Amino acid sequence: MEQLKEYRYLIATIFAVFAILLIGAVFSETFTQQRTYLELFMLFGGMLFVFSVLTVVVILGFSSFALFLAFFLAAAIAMYGIEAALLTIAITYCIWGFVFSIELLLVDNDVPSATEWFESRYTFESFKREYFAFYPMIFFVYLLIEVVPNILHRETLKRFSPSEVFEKMRNLLR
């Protein structure tokens, strides 16, 4: 129970948003307002489900998540249509790419927990597939974490070379 202490405010906020939307739907004066609140309630519930599924992605790793993602996309298409499935794919790509890129930058900075993270989840072939799939995200995260603070705070800029990181990972995962 001590571990859940950190999440109390998050859980309370989620319940508060659901409660506010339901109260808005119940006390709406017109049918259009009521329908709008109920649509927001469903949208928020769907987005909460998407983000909870993405948390599972981060915990399990992308390769073991593929079957579950296929099931989730089928459910999203059935409930919300093809646009929801495309949104889910885009959000999954962005969030998993962000996690992968941060871990890769941590490996570049020789952080032991990041190398353990890659060793426990990847073979070199699976790493190579995700490396090329998330190549644009790697540069985006590098700009966000290294270049922007350098511009704002005049910190020293660590040089990033994707080919060096790739070779480091080749040696690590073989």
DSSP string, 55-76: HHHHHH-HHHHHHHHHHHHHHH
Q: Which residues, in sequence order, are CB contacts of 104 under 8 Å at separation 6+?
A: 114, 131, 138, 165, 169
Q: Give the pLDDT confidence score for residue 65 in this predicted structure.
A: 62
In a domain, residue 83? The reply is no
Domain, as residue range, for 106: 90-174
In a domain, residue 46? The reply is no
In a domain, residue 145? The reply is yes
* Mean pLDDT lowest among 46-60, 106-120, 124-138: 46-60
In a domain, residue 117? The reply is yes
pLDDT of 63-112, one tens digit each? Answer: 556 666 777 777 777 777 888 778 878 888 888 889 889 999 998 888 89
- Cα–Cα dist 64/41, whole Å: 31
In a domain, residue 48? The reply is no
pTM comes to 0.61
In a domain, residue 149? The reply is yes
**Overall number of domains in the chain:** 1
In a domain, residue 49? The reply is no
Burial of 102 (0-12, 13-18, 19+ CB in 10 A): middle
Q: What average pLDDT is seen over the chain?
A: 82
In a domain, residue 16? The reply is no
Tell me how crowded residue 86 is: count the other CB atoms within 10 A of its CB: 13
Q: Which residues, in sequence order, are CB contacts of 117 under 8 Å at separation 6+?
A: 103
pLDDT of 30-40, one tens digit each? Answer: 888 888 888 88
Say if CB 28 and CB 37 are below 8 A apart: yes
Distance of CA 30 to the CA centre of its chain: 38
